[in-house]
């Protein structure tokens, strides 16, 4: 049974990923809050990735870093501290996790890493300056680290559009907003967390053994199509 370390696996997309892997992996969930579910294969570590030391784990085959931010403000209202905070959670936290678990990853079974970006790095959208800047850095990190760690460790990214989680609740807070979000996407839908979890499962599986350094747009057509 393979060993998965997931940062931020208690809520939202991270929770869906954790639950997807539990029957096939020993899962170490590192998060500030404990999950609202238990499983024989799940071990939870309460930890703030930005301010506390990550737990020492001897066996790691897969690392998935889920923390992120949706800090949407006009550029005139964004403070420099907003940019710093988004960069810290999206980029510095991911770097810290990769550096900390790289040694056991290199000894793991078909090791891989998954990070998260956003469709806003490809599609210019108002009020997304801070999150788009930090997630663009994540994409650069994936390319560079992927080249450096080949052929031992694969690393890929998932760039979702709006996903039905608590993090995106402000974007989906009433029926009118849900209708507008749905209509903006050519596939006339937005994502649910399980769809993203399924992509993470694929990217860390043997089926993706030839894929590294790639960013997968789960965009419901919003980046790819103009209809």
Q: Is the pLDDT of residue 170 over 80?
A: no
Go through the chain and tell me how many residues it has: 227
pLDDT tens by residue, 115-169: 999 999 999 989 999 999 999 999 999 999 999 999 999 999 999 999 988 777 7
Closest to 204 in 3D by CA, of 158, 150, 160, 136: 158
Q: What is the pTM of this model?
A: 0.95
How far apart are alpha carbons 86 and 90 in whole angstroms? Answer: 6
Cβ–Cβ under 8 Å, residues 135 and 88: no
User: For 206, phi and psi rounded to 5 degrees?
Assistant: -65, -25
How far apart are alpha carbons 69 and 65 in whole angstroms? Answer: 13
Within 10 A of 173 (CB to CB), how many other CB atoms are there? Answer: 10
Choose between 72 and 157: higher pLDDT: 157
Average pLDDT across the chain, whole number: 95
Tell me the three-class secondary structure of 12-51, residue by residue.
HHHHHHHHHHCCCEEEEEEECCCCCCCCCCEEEEECCCCC
pLDDT tens by residue, 183-199: 999 999 999 999 999 99
172 burial via Cβ count (<10 Å: 0-12, 13-18, 19+): middle
Closest to 89 in 3D by CA, of 192, 200, 7: 7
For the chain, which domains are there?
Answer: 2-162+192-218 (3.40.50.720)
- Which pLDDT score is estimated for 104? 98
Placement of tokens 């998935």 in the chain: 64
How far apart are alpha carbons 45 and 10 in whole angstroms? Answer: 11
> Mean pLDDT, to the nearest integer, of 4-14?
96
Task: Read off the tokens for 171.
Answer: 């974007």
Strand, helix or coil for residue 103: helix
> Mean pLDDT, to the nearest integer, of 56-68?
96
Task: Read off the tokens for 57.
Answer: 């784990």
Q: Tell me which H or E stretch contains 199.
A: helix 193-203
- Which pLDDT score is estimated for 227? 79
Within 10 A of 69 (CB to CB), how many other CB atoms are there? Answer: 18
Q: Is the pLDDT of residue 47 over 90?
A: yes
- Which pLDDT score is estimated for 68? 87
Placement of tokens 């891989």 in the chain: 112
Q: Is the pLDDT of residue 96 over 90?
A: yes
């Amino acid at each position: 049974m393979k060993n998965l370390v997931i940062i931020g696996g208690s809520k939202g997309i991270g929770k869906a990923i954790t639950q997807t892997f539990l029957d096939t992996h020993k899962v170490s969930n590192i998060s500030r809050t404990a999950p609202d579910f238990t499983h024989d294969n799940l071990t939870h570590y309460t930890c703030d990735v930005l301010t506390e030391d990550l737990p020492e784990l001897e066996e790691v085959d897969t690392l998935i870093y889920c923390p992120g931010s949706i800090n949407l403000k006009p550029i005139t209202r964004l403070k420099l501290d907003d940019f710093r905070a988004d960069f810290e959670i999206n980029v510095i936290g991911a770097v810290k996790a990769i550096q900390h678990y790289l040694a056991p990853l290199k000894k793991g079974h078909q090791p891989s890493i998954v990070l998260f970006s956003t469709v806003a790095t490809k599609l210019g959208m108002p009020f997304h300056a801070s999150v788009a800047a930090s997630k663009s850095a994540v994409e650069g990190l994936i390319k560079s680290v992927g080249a450096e760690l080949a052929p031992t460790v694969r690393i890929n990214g998932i760039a979702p559009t709006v996903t039905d989680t608590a993090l995106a609740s402000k974007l989906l807070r009433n029926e009118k907003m849900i209708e507008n979000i749905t209509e903006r996407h050519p596939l006339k839908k937005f994502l649910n967390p399980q769809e993203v979890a399924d992509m993470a499962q694929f990217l860390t599986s043997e089926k993706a053994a030839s894929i590294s350094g790639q960013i997968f747009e789960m965009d419901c057509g919003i980046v790819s199509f103009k209809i």
